[in-house]
Amino acid sequence: MSFKEALQQQVLIADGAMGTLLYSQYGVNSAFEGLNLTHGGDILKIHQAYIAAGADVIQTNTYAANRIKLNRYGLADKTAAINEAAVSLARTAQIAAEQRVYILGTIGGIAGVTDTEIEPLTAEEIDAGVTEQAGYLLNTGAIDGILLETYYDINELKRALKIVRSLTDLPIVANVTMYEPGVLQDGTSLNTALQELADLGADVVGANCRLGPYNMSRAFDSVALPKGAALAIYPNAGLPDVQDGKTVYDSPAEYFENYSDTFRRQGAHLIGGCCGTTPAHIKGLVAGLQSRQPVTTKKVAPQAAVATPTAADPRQHDFLQRVQQEKVALVELDPPKTFATAKFFRGAQALSQAGAGAITLSDGPLANPTISNVALAAQLKYQYGITPLVHLTTRDHNLIGLQSEIMGLHTLGISNILVITGDPAKVGDLPGATSVYDLHSVELMQMIKKFNDGISPTGRNLKEKTNFAVGGAFNPNVRNVDRACKMITRKTAYGADFIITQPIFDVEKIHALRLALDEQGITTPVFVGVMPLMSFRNANFLHHEVPGIRLADDTLARMQQAESDGNEREVGLQIAEETIDAICTDFNGVHINTPLQHHEISLALLKYVQAKNAVSV
């Protein structure tokens, strides 16, 4: 009897976690799939243990056996061998089994799991990994189907399903993964997602990982029996704990057993286990089934009423409106490093009254601790009526902290954010501090834009939409500006509403930037950076020690001469005005970086920009 036929006639029990058992033996730093080549006997024993526990279906040890993930361990060139060995080991266990056992070739989700030093993978790169791995598994001719599992991104799973379906007529199991019971991370309901997968050709649709039996059962209460496909349920053992530095699952197999027939009554034809489950848990699933007969009808519980997100009070991002028609200057003020804030607030007031589009507040520039820019932004907004633009780094906050920061900003009514990576912690005053970098800057942009849709990163309905204008940073101080501008295209694709550049000290770069943007059809507002030089010493420091800033030879020479003449500040201001002249020829947006808390210099440059509007009228 084929796997597909068996699924139609009875409830099948799948195996549990391979990774949990290997983790207990080899630790977290091992490439579990590489063990197919070096410790095949251990993999075989695990397959046999699950079969002995009563599993009708086992999956190959290939969850992360794609070229992208294997490359982390220097095993990319062994991708084919690892997949082929995994199938061979499962086949050996199948042949030795006393009962009929089916083999599923496993392909795990890839998106969102790359190293933080590497830019997020493109859809094309991910799809190529799926195509290659699926080919290796199918070419063995020894599997009964393909299991696509642990896909948080429904669109990635849909693409993988289409790829695999184009390569084979074998049954395909397509499992999504949820953070929140009953809803995917993009806000799609589980019921809707599973039917969409069935419509795309999956023979079995379901969910695995993340949720334990209780929440997985809650999720499937509102899932109807899909048309054209069977259901699969693979919960975790429960919530993990950390003991002596190791991740453990304490949930007993008896608890797992209690949910076995519940899953059957919810419509599952295939029931297995994910993280934390062992052969004892699978034995419990077998014991807990009151019948092997799949249900044909199901009373679906109504989905809990979910409030439709309603937009918060609209806030006009005035500087983005103005920059379409006139010259607009944003002015950056670094938060103070001490509690002496009077000068900071005086400067912000003067700049705002002079017409600054917003006061931009850096977030630990050069990895040095300062007063929280969010706290200062709230004071600027509510005590002084000033529009703040807050920098938010991926350096200082993990995913939990970033979400809290974003929700806090919205609650405070602060709606302008510049997303940046942030200088590494080791370059600052506290080199022992750690950099987080859970996300790339573009991923943080994408997250913030989900908040604008009223959805959290886990898919939770937030009951209100945010209204953030999100900016991206750009460094034009590179040899090939045209090539670098592709990063702006990437950032706008992820949701950037405007771009702020690093300070430019070469007017030729400004014109080159304009040409590159026009050639690539980029129309996103760009605020080009200018920073007045205070001295030749200051110029040397910026040129040689600050990442992303380079001064033209002529600029350095002029500041060196000014040092001899004793008029460094005047020449520095003159160079900044010349830079603004060049910027305003090609752009409407200017971003003035205040030098060393000298807001009076930024005020002079702000007025210089404002004069451009008077001339144009």
Specify binding-site residues for Zn(2+).
209, 274-275
393 within 8 A of 363, measured Cβ to Cβ:
yes
**What stretch of H or E contains 572?**
helix 568-586
Which residue is it, tokens 């080899």? 26
Q: Is 564 exposed, middle or buried (0-12, 13-18, 19+ CB in 10 A)?
A: exposed
Three-state SS for 20? Answer: helix
Using alpha carbons only, how large is the chain's radius of gyration in Å?
A: 29
217 within 8 A of 263, measured Cβ to Cβ:
yes
**DSSP, residue by residue, 29-88:** TS-GGGHHHH-HHHHHHHHHHHHHTT-SEEE-S-TT-SHHHHGGGT-GGGHHHHHHHHHH
Report the length, in residues, of the chain.
617
Distance CA 428, CA 218 (A): 48
**Would you list which residues are annotated within the binding site?**
209, 274-275
Q: How is residue 293 written in tokens?
A: 């007969």
**What stretch of H or E contains 186?**
none
Distance CA 565, CA 182 (A): 72
Distance CA 407, CA 401 (A): 10
End-to-end CA distance of the chain: 83
Q: How is residue 161 written in tokens?
A: 């399903």
Task: Give just the sign of the alpha carbon dihedral 311, 313, 318, 324.
Answer: positive
Give the residues across from 208 on adjacent strands: 234
330 within 8 A of 500, measured Cβ to Cβ:
yes
Q: Which of 144, 103, 110 is nearest to 125 (CA)?
A: 110
Q: How is residue 298 written in tokens?
A: 């199901």
